[in-house]
Structure 1
């Protein structure tokens, strides 16, 4: 008993058990651990555990299912509708517990991870596809299939569907071999398949049969896996056919007929379609007519597509004939169909039978997109005439189930039908014999139709090797589809006017395949102009279609897409061989990347591989500034003749976000620039036209217009030009009159006398005369009858007209030509114009001033006004300095002249200003700078006086105790800003010690008292905001003398007494100071006495013992006692 896999990542797994009975079926989902890995050494224990496990399952079968852990998720697909990762066709097989053959289909090429996972399940691939992400596994136990869904990168566990075989008039009926019914057949062109190798994938081929004499080139047996092939006929490696099916189909494709000539017409009776082709015998089915190694057989063919077999000139494999198929249908996604597609990409034409269920089923490998699927016809009258043939009732029909892509034509199968009923071909060796007889037998089925088409493919490749398919095209399929004879009404006329569900694209016709001229529509050009557009560009997309075939391309249809969005569709006219046509589409894309795709559709197109072309276009972001685009260039007339005047009109669009102030347009022909025209200013999202004239000359011309000299600079120059292809006819034999160069000379103003001139040209090669009429606003202005103009020449005509105000139209008309001219289409020329009234038109052209503008200084402003109109006039001119009116003047100005108008102005403030001059609708502004005036320093005057005394500006002497006044009133500002002056006083003594002013230092004048003798200097600083000046005065303070009462000689005694008193006073002061110092020293331990003081310092006046409070930390500082007015200096 199998032990199961080792535990996989994720731990728990869900296993689905199916219990089937004749009366009921119960599905139980059991949550279990992943099956453990048991060793066979524990046989007894294992047996017990297994019995217990079986009992548990039987018990659980009677209870409802319990949910297990989440299974891997798969997208539902054609073969896996429930999205569980297992092919739905396996369900009944697994329910019966049958071992199954499967394909493991992966998303990417599988490798070691998948191989190890399989090994843990006790499984290994029997075959690993060389081209697809597919492994083949055979005889997989049913209970392991669900485990496979957890393999890394697995897409599907696909059933290896069992393939079954699908079964001298028929070769003649398809017009390959000559007959009395059809005169034109492929063999008449010497075609027999020579040089072409056909691989027959079937039950094997008994190539010893006479019909294969000299045809065998190689063989391989793939029933049990493709081994080594052999090139030796009748060797051990040469697979035999004990069923007969493969021998029959092979002889239909390439049998020579041997010596059998039953009708005695001198030719073998039962010749295949391509008797000159060589055979590769690929046995993929067992002798009982079933098997599953078709995938290996196909891949073996792909690997040997270029094999050098025997240096005979028949190398490789060019055609595969597969009269095999599954019993069910496919959408082409199965592994075998995909393998067949791969073979086609390698250069092999793959042909497969449609199947014999008579149902809407397309089996594999016929379901492959690139495989030619063949249905069968029957011949009820048993004759060569195909006209009475019918699609066989057993032949499967289409369309194929959709594979979900956008290409409906993939599903339009079968591709063709061919004879499949009552086909008489070589008989294989009857079992158990291995040597074929030379007999022939009759079989029915699409298996018999398939080799007819395989043989036709060999004839076609011999005739045209370019029909070999490849990775990007399958010309063989398209040739057969297009040139088969329609058989029945179109089933999907919107998709194809030919395809029928039962007969496909028709009944094969060998003669048509190799002889009839074939159109071949090709999308040769898909271009974008500009190639790198930006958002807002008007992009021209051009598609060129060529017919590179040798027949007319009819009823073609062209579609143009941007990504998946259809931009345009055209029904095309017939295109002759080597002919071409171009279709254009104007496109205005937004920013982004686009894939443009042009696709051509035509039922009779030989080669579908060149019907489509793609182009990637990156559209940039819109520009931020000016972006002028030249969107059109037109000619009038657009079919000129030699020497004719052609009016060219260029359309210019500003698709940017900024206005263009100006631009110009240059016009080119083969000789270079022939005209340059200036354009007007152009606002964003607006357009204009620029016109000029060109003298046509015989031949084909490429005219080009280019916009340039753009201000501000253009931000996107890739769209600045436009080309026009113009064909100019040669001069006709007859006269051909045309007016040209209609113009006005003079100013377009009312009352002006204007000259109107134009020319009349004879573009033909014969002299003649013509009547000329000039009309103004529909009224005849002048006639010139029977005006003679020589061949190739011109005459100049003119008249005068007094201009009148308004819009007008001049119209030159020609008529009555003699001899009769070649064309009258160019007999008229018009000119629209406007005449302006005589009136003034004013504009401010400049603003100037004479000198530097200074605040407070009178100046003059000069404004220049122009009259660009046609009459004298008066205008009111206003001049402002921003919101301040400078002045208003009314002036008269003559037509075409200018006048300077002078305004007086004294700027009140300095700094930037904008001057604005306005005259009617014209305004001009100018930025100016007003300079501040030059500053003069202030005058500082300091005065001092004893209160009540005279003011002094120098030095005064006073006694202590007197009040002294200081004043700066004499100071001034020469600039007149006295009120803005600022004052600052400072006083120091002879030692530089500041004298406290008690908050009066910023006053213009103040009064103070000096109680201590000394010399004091007072400094006054005067500031006018820009500069400052100083002035000083001095005060000498002396002590006040002591006055005593005179008494005899008491004067000397008084002096003595005063001295004694002074001395005593000094001693008292010294004693008090000593006591204070001693106290301070006693109280300071580690810190200074003042370190502990928080707040103002309290001192005792040494003179009067009054209290003095000191708030300033400045040292030294001069102090005054508020009690006795004594002055002293505190130094520490």
Structure 2
């Protein structure tokens, strides 16, 4: 059952461990299971407690029901089982949330009317305003330029502003007092709908604050939701994509921390009940499958006529197959991110340069006060602990270059040595942000590499001073028009084509709560998604009868390709499984007179030719001729966490290659793609199919992706350091991560007193199922645990998961006895047939001894 999380543990980073301990940066089976790991069962349960007969602590489970079954049927079938029904999600997802212990959850899944029992997950909270994640350069400038990129501003000139269309924002809430968002909440206001499902203190990753405390006020104390709402529909100092749309604010995060799938499902349900036409989800969990409840619930909303838009995810640096749920949902519009040429930043004037430089405060350090100035800058070097100081910085502002050690180390060292301000400049192109730094009462700001070098030269003359004035400046960026470095790659684990399309998403200057300064620049696919949600509102104002699938088709068909920003010999266009069909063009979508479906095609795996069918339908009032064309996109190959990029020139044929359509007519085209025998196995390739109208008009685009080779050949349990056994050392009380050490020779493990034993498993790829069992080497007795299904892959090259014996025993208190045992892990590969032994991988541990 999807409850293996009950014995999956998160551990700490390898670098933090003592040298004599062989540890890994280990995470739970599902990266979103932080809340589960924080609950008493996982944070403090013990085999001793279970041996003494104490009850297993309860937790929240999502019970997916078979077609035709409902909560009352479950109640009748589960008579006698000790569980509490929390919420019935009948309208958005055929299932319920319950509170029960793991043993009851296992018994629920065995019922005929139950499809799956899922662990409720944690959706990590967005960074607070002013503490951007440290994403690499390439930020969109301001909202005005971003809506020009998508041509939403031209739609406004036509009088298409989203008027009358309702857009639900499921996020941290919205500061409806912001003048750009209407200044009020309720009937007649811009923010007319919404509720708070959780309360200010809620954090599903913190056991003391994991229970929601809902109320009716969706006010935002985190900032992220206000920023997203501004992109959708601000109308004031900044202008959003749909400045006259009605906004629904559905708050699913507290002021800090994480939320849960159960809460998100409730918000989806409320958005449907409130009649939202569009719903935006600038949230998600990476490496996920389309079958997870949040993705399926989002799909259900589209069946009810709601256009659902979601972030593809920010794990682009983790390679392919890194998309997020609910974005990977079949009918959800998953949005990638692109960068524009400049970013708006706070400005400091430097008289020695006769110009202003853009800066950003780092971590939780307070912004410099306008009207203040630094002492003269002194070049301090890299400022890591073992670096020699380049100058005496007592009573001066320290100028430091980024890299080699954390911002926290650099900042604390500079303050310890008497710096009155700290300026860090980038060691690569463009601006940056950072987190994890506490305020020591000394300003800490970051500047670009070019501005940093200029300040370093001026500092040599002794007269470089930063004067903070409260103004802003546009800072040039190196990757304008290219895919954002953080934007996640598809395809989905079932090879489904994702993302669907792209929009500006880095460094967007938009609204934040008035208390936080009213405007800020934030980055992520969280910012690209509301561009598309706003664009959907524009289309729905122009054509209210458009169905969600038609909205996606219009936007995807008319998108502009994202060019490949690196070695031109590797291709002209960014990978299809990174950009979808490209960046939305609102005017082209409004003016489209035909449709090309499907907009994204999975051509599967293999090494030979693949054939698929596209359907072209005319909505024009006259006869139109179309020519079919193909352009390849850059492919990714090799290690999916750090892929190489290769050029591909597949042979593509169309049958027919030319179409003449009369008004209202549809015609099909068979497309055959021959990737080529020289394309390395393990490559994800793709391309763009365009229907080009003769005589002008909107070119229609569909895209495809495929896997070269046998998808089932991807190894899962092949990491050189994992699987292996480890003894549990301890747990970080804040991160809930565990540390492990190698077993001592002849070491034994007491069922009553510990130490706890764990199997450390690295998942090389997403798996369809995992099974865990223990075998007694003397008697042959085998103890099995319920299987876990649809697991994400380990995110990075050194990530793994910990399966704790303590938690196995907690689930089956009397199943094990003293003696010698081995532990076995079996995984069913993605898209594998469980009846085929070749589709499974397994690992058996060395023997270990359990004592009473």
Which interval holds the TM-score relative to the shorter structure?
A: 0.3 to 0.5
Q: Hey, which of these two has a bigger chunk of helix by percent?
A: 2
User: Does 1 or 2 have the higher relative contact order (CA < 8 Å, sep 6+)?
Assistant: 2
TM-score by length of 1: 0.34
Q: Hey, which of these two has a bigger chunk of strand by percent?
A: 1
- Indicate the structure (1 or 2) with the bigger Cα radius of gyration: 1
TM-score by length of 2: 0.45
